[in-house]
Structure 1
């Protein structure tokens, strides 16, 4: 998630201080990705260093106001114009967990899948209820921009969770199919269960 560009986009809307930026970000995204205020100010320092924002001084109430520069506005324009590239997929803890589960002895992969499916179904139900309760879900009524933003975030969470559940179903089907296949044959002279690389380093 680009906190850098998100803060720049909010500053393009209007000058703000750190706590305002955090509140605006969380309000517009439904607090789905909470921001640490320290992270906000660290990012502002870097943006100021890079000439993308400027410090406009104290507002008289102890708040340091930041505004976007021309270079910052150009940066935001480029961010909105460019697609988000997934050339380096983010780490998926669930995929990593299942990948390790199927390669380690003694792990009940089916139980891991079942537990995750139950949790994912609960999340999906929560997201769906929130979507139905959103003012933006009312037909024939133009929602406020903030309501539309939250609805888009909810839709993203719903689609992602639905895809996760389908993937879990696929994993379960694959495990069932694999269980019906004969175990791989052990090469003659190889110690059962010993990795080939390890066997090469063993002296007779």
Structure 2
């Protein structure tokens, strides 16, 4: 998800200035994705340039500019909510790449990499579950939905790591890496 759509969604609720947008974004997502205030203001500037938000002409007592959604911004946001997220829209899966590289890099124990990740992911899953038990079902619905997503993702990761470990256990051991063969020119120089 880009910050662009997060800010548009928040401005759909009410006009706000940058610090309010940052605080409301973090509150709505349970601070799972903290925003840098510079990133908020840079995004607001682009949204303003593109005609998706406009200044209200008002400012708070400290002179902070208040923004609101334009009709174009509302249409953009409506389109975003109506469009399913595809796997192509998500960033690369660093864990899958790490395991793939561990399997193909001489001297790396891929099973140890998988086991270390599994231990960390199970700990993370336990912490998420503790957070969920402390949340207020009525007051924290947005946060609970984010937590559920994180829990399901962690559970899926544990399943994938278990599957990967099983697959690695069935694989015959790889021979140790062989040193690079010296070229003929080096042999002649001897």
Fold-level similarity (TM above 0.5): yes
| Deviation by residue 1:136-168 (Cα, 9 ceiling, x = unmatched) | 1xxxxxx13xx1100000000000000001111
| Deviation by residue 1:48-102 (Cα, 9 ceiling, x = unmatched) | 0000100124223221100111111111111111111223552111111111111
> Where do 1:31-46 residues align within 5 Å?
31-46=31-46
Higher relative contact order (CA 8 A, sep 6+): 2
Cα deviation, residue 193, structure 1: 8.3
SS of 2:84's partner is coil
Q: 1:172 aligns with which of 138, 161, 165?
A: 165
Distance 1:71 1:91, change over 3 A: same
Structure-2 separation of matches of 1:88 and 1:9: 19
- Equivalent residue for 2:124? 123
Distance 1:65 1:156, change over 3 A: same
- Equivalent residue for 1:132? 133
- Equivalent residue for 2:150? 157
Cα deviation, residue 33, structure 1: 0.5
> Where do 1:13-28 residues align within 5 Å?
13-28=13-28
Report the count of equivalent residues.
179
Distance 1:13 1:86, change over 3 A: same
- Equivalent residue for 2:99? 98
Provide runs of 4+ in structure 1 moved above 4 Å: none
Tell me the TM-score normalised to structure 2 length: 0.88
Q: Which moved more, 1:154-163 or 1:76-85?
A: 76-85
